[in-house]
């Protein structure tokens, strides 16, 4: 008798769990909104005359037929981000009449490249806590893991401000609000410039879909920046065969010096 009651209880619990999963899946599907995006080019080739390039991110917002209609407009944030590196911020002080580096701060979570474009200003898109969590906008870069929006010292730390200003002046950190345009209710496009001093490597292009301050979906694509032609061969030789690359540089320098002496030799 006890075993029979226990079996019925277990069966009932499993049935309730199965119904909960089904209902949860139905609710999730009913509210599904996702981004389908692509790039105009997935590989940027750098040659000797490379002066920069532009990439176009385009796509559409897909909605399930059962998705509940909402009053707030969609917001899109496009972020092109490189890999993290250690960024050094120094502060000079005058010592015995000479300006020297006195203090410094290291930021190990600094991306080597960061470009963002949005549909409108970030303050109108989401709460600062969500922006800081997703690291949307250069204002929310180089922050400690325990950062909170009310922590004004971390935001206005002079070392951090100087580091961000340095990267912005190089054109490696950019914010471009209101640069994502909707071609229709669901089609969108955005153009992000890639400067000439960008490093070779793999970058991530992420499109965030938000509405009413909530993140609905994110889509990430890969962007490759690679050298081409003679520059690619020289880069590969220097990276994989350091000895032969150094030897070739010495031989070229000796030959150039000898040839210069021959050309400008006085009779």
Radius of gyration of the chain (CA): 27
- Tell me what the pLDDT averaged over the chain comes to: 81
In a 10 Å sphere around its CB, with 0-12 CB exposed, 13-18 middle and 19+ buried, how is residue 104 labelled?
Answer: exposed
- pLDDT for position 231: 62
pLDDT at 187 over 80: yes
pLDDT digits (tens, 9 = 90+) for 134-166: 999 999 998 887 777 767 666 778 889 999 999
- pLDDT for position 210: 94
**What angle is formed at CA 19 by the lines to CA 28 and CA 1, rounded to 5 degrees?**
160
Dihedral (CA of 254, 258, 264, 267) sign: positive
Query: 221 - beta bridge partners?
Result: 205
Phi/psi of residue 52, nearest 5 degrees:
115, 170
Query: 194 - beta bridge partners?
Result: 53
- pLDDT for position 68: 59
* Euclidean distance between CA atoms 199 and 163, whole angstroms: 18
- pLDDT for position 152: 66
Most confident segment among 11-20, 48-57, 204-213: 204-213
**How would CATH label the architecture of 33-227?**
Sandwich (2.60)
Domain ranges across the chain = 1-30, 33-227, 229-267
Residue with tokens 């909402």: 70
pLDDT at 123 over 70: yes
* Euclidean distance between CA atoms 119 and 176, whole angstroms: 9
**Rounded mean pLDDT, 206-233:** 87
| CB within 8 Å of 168: residues ≥ 6 apart | 138, 174
The pLDDT-based confidence of 173 (bands split at 50, 70, 90) is: very high
């Amino acid at each position: 008798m006890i075993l029979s009651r226990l079996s019925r209880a277990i069966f009932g619990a499993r049935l309730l769990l199965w119904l909960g999963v089904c209902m949860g899946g139905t609710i999730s599907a009913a509210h599904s909104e996702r981004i389908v995006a692509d790039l105009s080019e997935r590989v940027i080739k750098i040659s000797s005359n490379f002066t920069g390039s532009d990439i176009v991110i385009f796509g559409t917002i897909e909605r399930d037929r059962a998705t509940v209609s909402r009053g707030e407009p969609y917001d899109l944030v496009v972020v092109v981000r490189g890999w993290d590196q250690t960024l050094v911020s120094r502060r000079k002080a005058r010592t015995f009449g000479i300006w020297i580096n006195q203090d410094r701060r290291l930021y190990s979570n600094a991306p080597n490249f960061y470009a963002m474009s949005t549909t409108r200003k970030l303050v109108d898109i989401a709460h600062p806590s969500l922006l800081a969590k997703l690291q949307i906008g250069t204002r929310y870069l180089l922050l400690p893991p325990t950062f909170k929006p009310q922590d004004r010292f971390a935001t206005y730390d002079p070392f951090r401000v100087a580091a961000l200003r340095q990267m912005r002046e190089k054109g490696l950190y950019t914010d471009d609000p209101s640069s994502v345009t909707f071609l229709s209710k669901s089609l969108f496009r955005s153009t992000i410039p890639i400067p000439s001093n960008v490093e070779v490597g793999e970058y991530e292009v992420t499109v965030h879909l938000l509405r009413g301050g909530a993140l609905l979906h994110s889509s990430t694509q890969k962007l490759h920046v690679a050298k081409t032609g003679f520059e690619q061969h020289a880069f590969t030789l220097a990276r994989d065969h350091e000895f032969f690359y150094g030897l070739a540089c010495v031989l070229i320098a000796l030959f150039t010096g000898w040839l210069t002496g021959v050309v400008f030799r006085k009779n």
